Chain A
Amino acid sequence: MTTAAKSYDSVSSEFSPWTDSNATPLIQFQNVTKRYGDFVAIDNLSLDIYEREFFALLGPSGCGKTTMMRLLAGFEGLTEGRILLGGKDISHIPPNQRPVNMMFQSYALFPHMNVEQNIGFGLKQEGKSKAEIKDRVEELIQLVQLQQFTKRKPEQLSGGQRQRVALARSLAKKPKLLLLDEPLGALDKKLREQTQFELMNLQEQLGMTFMIVTHDQEEAMTVASRIAVMSKGELVQVDTPAQIYEAPKSRYVADFIGNVNFIGATVDSIAINKDAQEIEATLSNNTLVNATTTEITEIKQGDSIWLSLRPEKIAVDKAEPEGDRNKLKGTVIDIGYVGNVSTYHVQIAEDVIVKAQRVNRNRLRNRQITWDDEVWLHWNEDAALALDK
């Protein structure tokens, strides 16, 4: 078996400056700590972000995402450490002198100015000529599709329209680094996908570096070159979207991105394969399972571990699959139908429910597996990840 330690980076293999030891980062957080009184909002955090990256920050509410952006934009002073931009320490440079623009979570549109004036505000401060400002503003208005609303005040716009004005305003000066704090939250799905696409295009055309906060994992997976998962002011894992999804380093990360099943198991044997471990383990009902890790961990023989299994990697069948491993029997207790796929909630033991996903190839009325059916769950031997308990 040679499945372990594989890299899931095939998608973004062309652009990966973080693997290049000669590349100089655009932004460096060096042991940055930010305290509000006794409360530690950012805790001794170090991070490199490279030019042309689309860097996504993910994490639960209050974990410090906005604070990171405010530190970068210069609205908050840091308590310890320093922040470098292009190798220069910018910790003490005021916000108006940083080549950084921010789109605020609250939009912060100027209420006394109309859409055009809001978007052109930054250019006016730069002392650009009227004609130049007009051209650029028109371009941006096209981009965010606000042609009919150029003369309206923010209070005359809907939430989504305001969000687009805020986005256009932050793009106007073509900053080296653009900070987007939940930029697309108020848009409907169609417009959001379109804007995501536009953002990615822009970023490629202009060679800008984007840092984005989002609560939408799908969005992060779509746009980001790398994702940082945060918890309580610390970075838990920084990796490409594929790595974060396929090779989370902790239960926290696995749980945060996408759906996942955690099943308790005990380690029987461990084999080292390159820089990963291949584990054979036993579940509490004596089923034998295979699991892998993505790096050498502290897991030892006899340890309790979590078997982490994504629902889409588990097959559901009525017939018993061949082999004596990586399979479980149970009863369907619930079916979640979302159109293209169905999620089967299968009770394995009294307190263990495993979710498995199946693409709906048949029409709903021809569904083969239904409530209270006895089914077999099974998965490939490289599907399960072993995580420290």
Chain B
Amino acid sequence: MKVTRFTWFNATSLTLGFAFLYLPILLLVIFSFNESKLVTVWGGFSTKWYQQLWENSVYLDAALVTLKIAVVSSTMAAILGTVSALVLHRAGRFRGRTLFSGMIYAPLVMPEVITGLSLLLLFVAAGVAKGFWTISLAHITFSMCYVTVVVSSRLVTFDRSLEEAALDLGCTPFTAFLQVTLPVIAPSVISGWLLAFTLSMDDLVIASFTTGPGGTTLPIQLYSAIRRGVSPEINAISSILVGVVTIAVVIAAISSHQAERRRARNEHLANS
């Protein structure tokens, strides 16, 4: 690899690029420690907004609701998404396979507004009371296709002879799935689950269509607060979110680095 030499052009473009990406976030974090209530005027360092946040049950409740919805919807999406990936992969060329797979992948490209609107219409027509469960259902609907995509790509490299070996050794197709297939594809199911989880946490558009009493998620809460004007409190909660995401990313990076090292060590063992 060629070593790139230091030039002023490179340094400037690198700085500008990172500034473009991270300056807004940095400002947000800095102003969350602002003493003053005015968002754009620095009035000294303070953590009072964080204290206020802790005492403000509205945000805590919203966070709890968001978390619950995320857990419920991502778990269901992981199960349904895995099942559909298996069907797509195993059933061979049944009639209407293309249609079926197209229908599973459609929500990936469908504008969220349309998904949200159509779900709203459905819930209204069915006379379902909107709230926690309608948001959860909506989130399952749009996030299961992401799980399907992730698990499908794992199944492509899954060696079918593992299942055959399990059958050969006395498993029924179902126990072979539980004891062999599932443990082997588990990492992809888990990353599908994580993806669905973050999608559900982030979602504002679909949630605002399908929300109701008892279904106020954090993004909805934040959005409605912002419409009344940006406050340092919002900066504070956003900073916490940024912190959580950063920690999650770092943990993921470390664990994948360790997995890589473990793999290298195993290979070394095998060849010794």
Q: Is the CB of A157 within 8 A of B270?
A: yes
Judge whether B260 is part of the interface by a CB distance below 8 angstroms. no
Judge whether A7 is part of the interface by a CB distance below 8 angstroms. no
What residues of B have a CB within 8 angstroms of the CB of A172 in the complex? 169
**How many Å from the CB of B139 to the closest CB on chain A?**
31
What residues of B have a CB within 8 angstroms of the CB of A345 in the complex? none
A63-104 contact mask (Cβ, 8 Å, vs B): 1 or 0: 000000000011100000000000000000011100011101
CB-CB under 8 A for A169 and B269, given A108-B161, A110-B180: no
**The one of A94, A96, A108, A158 that contacts B159, using a Cβ cutoff of 8 Å:** A108
Question: In the bound complex, how far is the Cα of B171 from the Cα of A127, in angstroms?
Answer: 11
Judge whether A122 is part of the interface by a CB distance below 8 angstroms. yes
- Which residues 143-172 of B have a CB within 8 angstroms of A? 159, 161-162, 164-172
**The one of B161, B167, B180, B269 that contacts A96, using a Cβ cutoff of 8 Å:** B167
Judge whether B46 is part of the interface by a CB distance below 8 angstroms. no
What residues of B have a CB within 8 angstroms of the CB of A365 in the complex? none
Question: In the bound complex, how far is the Cα of B167 from the Cα of A73, in angstroms?
Answer: 10
Question: In the bound complex, how far is the Cα of B161 from the Cα of A101, in angstroms?
Answer: 13
- Which residues 116-164 of B have a CB within 8 angstroms of A? 159, 161-162, 164
What residues of A have a CB within 8 angstroms of the CB of B270 in the complex? 155-158, 161
Q: Is the CB of B180 within 8 A of A173?
A: no
Q: Is the CB of B170 within 8 A of A153?
A: no
Judge whether A35 is part of the interface by a CB distance below 8 angstroms. no
What residues of B have a CB within 8 angstroms of the CB of A60 in the complex? none
What residues of B have a CB within 8 angstroms of the CB of A94 in the complex? 167
Q: Is the CB of A96 within 8 A of B171?
A: yes
What residues of A have a CB within 8 angstroms of the CB of B168 in the complex? 73, 75, 95-96, 100-102
Question: In the bound complex, how far is the Cα of B269 from the Cα of A152, in angstroms?
Answer: 10
Q: Is the CB of A95 within 8 A of B167?
A: yes
Judge whether A125 is part of the interface by a CB distance below 8 angstroms. yes
Question: In the bound complex, how far is the Cα of B169 from the Cα of A75, in angstroms?
Answer: 12
Q: Is the CB of A75 within 8 A of B164?
A: yes
Question: In the bound complex, how far is the Cα of B165 from the Cα of A101, in angstroms?
Answer: 9
**How many Å from the CB of A176 to the closest CB on chain B?**
13
What residues of A have a CB within 8 angstroms of the CB of B263 in the complex? 155
Question: In the bound complex, how far is the Cα of B167 from the Cα of A104, in angstroms?
Answer: 13
In the complex, the chain B residue whose C-beta lies closest to that of A73 is B168
Judge whether A126 is part of the interface by a CB distance below 8 angstroms. yes
What residues of A have a CB within 8 angstroms of the CB of B57 in the complex? none
The main secondary structure of chain A at its interface with chain B is: loop
**The one of A152, A158, A169 that contacts B169, using a Cβ cutoff of 8 Å:** A169
**How many Å from the CB of A67 to the closest CB on chain B?**
13
Judge whether B72 is part of the interface by a CB distance below 8 angstroms. no
What residues of A have a CB within 8 angstroms of the CB of B165 in the complex? 102, 104, 108-110, 169
Q: Is the CB of B167 within 8 A of A108?
A: no
The main secondary structure of chain B at its interface with chain A is: helix
What residues of A have a CB within 8 angstroms of the CB of B269 in the complex? 152, 156
**The one of A125, A156, A161 that contacts B171, using a Cβ cutoff of 8 Å:** A125
Question: In the bound complex, how far is the Cα of B175 from the Cα of A94, in angstroms?
Answer: 14
What residues of B have a CB within 8 angstroms of the CB of A125 in the complex? 169-171, 175
Q: Is the CB of B164 within 8 A of A158?
A: no
Q: Is the CB of A155 within 8 A of B266?
A: yes
Judge whether B271 is part of the interface by a CB distance below 8 angstroms. yes
What residues of B have a CB within 8 angstroms of the CB of A101 in the complex? 168-169
What residues of B have a CB within 8 angstroms of the CB of A16 in the complex? none
Judge whether B80 is part of the interface by a CB distance below 8 angstroms. no
In the complex, the chain B residue whose C-beta lies closest to that of A104 is B161
Q: Is the CB of B266 within 8 A of A156?
A: yes
**How many Å from the CB of B152 to the closest CB on chain A?**
19
What residues of A have a CB within 8 angstroms of the CB of B183 in the complex? 112
A102-146 contact mask (Cβ, 8 Å, vs B): 1 or 0: 101010111110000000011001100000000000000000000
B242-270 contact mask (Cβ, 8 Å, vs A): 1 or 0: 00000000000000000000010011011
Question: In the bound complex, how far is the Cα of B183 from the Cα of A112, in angstroms?
Answer: 7
Judge whether B184 is part of the interface by a CB distance below 8 angstroms. yes
**How many Å from the CB of A340 to the closest CB on chain B?**
33
Question: In the bound complex, how far is the Cα of B180 from the Cα of A267, in angstroms?
Answer: 63
Question: In the bound complex, how far is the Cα of B166 from the Cα of A121, in angstroms?
Answer: 8
Question: In the bound complex, how far is the Cα of B45 from the Cα of A311, in angstroms?
Answer: 96
What residues of A have a CB within 8 angstroms of the CB of B161 in the complex? 104, 106, 108
**How many Å from the CB of A296 to the closest CB on chain B?**
44
In the complex, the chain B residue whose C-beta lies closest to that of A110 is B180
Chain A CB within 10 A, most for which of B161, B165, B184: B165
In the complex, the chain B residue whose C-beta lies closest to that of A70 is B164
What residues of B have a CB within 8 angstroms of the CB of A100 in the complex? 168
23 A-B pairs in the complex with CB atoms less than 8 angstroms apart: A75-B167, A95-B164, A95-B167, A96-B169, A96-B170, A96-B171, A104-B164, A104-B165, A108-B161, A109-B165, A110-B162, A110-B165, A111-B184, A112-B184, A121-B166, A121-B169, A125-B171, A155-B266, A156-B266, A157-B270, A158-B271, A161-B270, A169-B165
Q: Besides A95-B164, A155-B263, A172-B169, 4 other CB < 8 A contacts?
A: A96-B170, A102-B168, A104-B165, A153-B266
Binding site for A on B (CB under 8 A): 159, 161-162, 164-172, 175, 180, 183-184, 263, 266-267, 269-271
Binding site for B on A (CB under 8 A): 73-75, 94-96, 100-102, 104, 106, 108-112, 121-122, 125-126, 152-153, 155-158, 161, 169, 172-173
Ordered nearest first, which 7 A-B pairs have the shortest CB separation? A122-B169, A125-B170, A108-B161, A108-B165, A95-B167, A112-B183, A156-B266
